[in-house]
Amino acid sequence: MTDGRLDAGDVVLDTGVDPAELSDSDLFRELASLHRTRLDTLRYGPDAALANHFKRTAELETEYMTRYAGREVDASRLTQDF
């Protein structure tokens, strides 16, 4: 995992706690927060904030997939056969 810092040009941003160290409930809370703020960050955030958002989302979603690799997929949510 990374050291939780992101170099965005001359600005170094802290991206938070290593996702592997989060409890399941904290991981879900962090993911929900990122998804809730996604559109505003995309539309109005400066480049550094958007880069931070991309990186943190990837870190948290990767940790989720590591923990729940065999997650259930709701067939009614599929838009095509996979």
Is 51 a member of any domain?
A: yes
Is 63 a member of any domain?
A: yes
Is 76 a member of any domain?
A: no
Is 53 a member of any domain?
A: yes
Is 55 a member of any domain?
A: yes
Domain span including residue 58: 1-10+22-68
Alpha-helical (H) ranges within 13-75 are 24-44, 47-67
- Measured distance CA(82)–CA(80) in Å, rounded: 6
Provide the domain count of the chain.
1
More confident residue, 81 or 34: 34
- Residue 35: HSE in the Cβ half-sphere, 13 Å Cα cutoff: 8
Q: Is the pLDDT of residue 12 over 60?
A: no
Q: Is the pLDDT of residue 57 over 70?
A: yes
Is 34 a member of any domain?
A: yes
Q: What is the pLDDT of residue 6?
A: 46
Q: What is the pLDDT of residue 15?
A: 66
Is 16 a member of any domain?
A: no
Residue range 46-58: mean pLDDT, rounded: 94
Is 75 a member of any domain?
A: no
